[in-house]
Amino acid sequence: MLRLQLPTDPRWANIVEENLEDILSDHAWCEQKAATNAIMLIINNAEKEDLVTEMTAISIEEMQHFQMVHDIIKARGYEFLRERKDDYVNELAKFMKQSSDGSRECGLIERLLFAAMIEARSCERFKVLSENLKDEELAQFYRDLMESEAAHYTTFINLARKYAGNIDVEKRWKAWLTYEASVIAKYGEGVTVHG
């Protein structure tokens, strides 16, 4: 369904398991940034009623996920670490900016595809964790979140199709998938959600 071109090596889950404090903090920040992205979409597209409705729901859900991850951090006696740079997301953001022709319509479509891409990869990563973590509590937690990320991915793609106008969303999504494969090839050994 996600059509990602390069799957995550399941051995990445071993790196995660050895660095739970780091990965959980990074994950919490990812949820906060996803909520912020949804809010920015509302701010910049207030006239699109269905988009506002969908992004309101996503922003609330992402902050609920942030709280859930933060609760796990506290319950396990970990420290909630400061936010770190997310090189993967930053590379996607550069592609988003380069791909826009400067029009408001194109900017919206690229922002929606950017969000869809992050949700797709997060969903895939959470699937890897749900299937490979020895920690049963966290494996179940990531299984539940995987379904949510898949739903968000679908929402972003559907909104891009709805507001595409003359933009060929399928062509753009294929370009995103190709670019993302070149980016993710550099990651998979780090202690971050997208690392």
Quickly list DSSP for 127-147: HHHHHH-S-HHHHHHHHHHHH
Distance of CA 28 to the CA centre of its chain: 12
- Give the pLDDT score at 61: 98
- Give the pLDDT score at 190: 77
- Give the pLDDT score at 1: 63
pTM for the full predicted model: 0.95
Q: What is the rounded end-to-end Cα distance, in angstroms, of the chain?
A: 22
- Type and span of the H or E element at 174: helix 169-184
Distance of CA 4 to the CA centre of its chain: 13
Q: How do the pLDDT tens digits run along the chain, 195 residues long?
A: 678 999 999 999 999 999 999 999 999 999 999 999 999 999 999 999 999 999 999 999 999 999 999 999 999 999 999 998 889 999 999 999 999 999 999 999 999 999 999 999 999 999 999 999 999 999 999 999 999 999 999 999 999 999 999 999 999 999 999 999 999 998 767 788 987
Residues 6 or more apart whose CB falls under 8 angstroms from that of 121 comprise 4, 88, 180, 184, 194
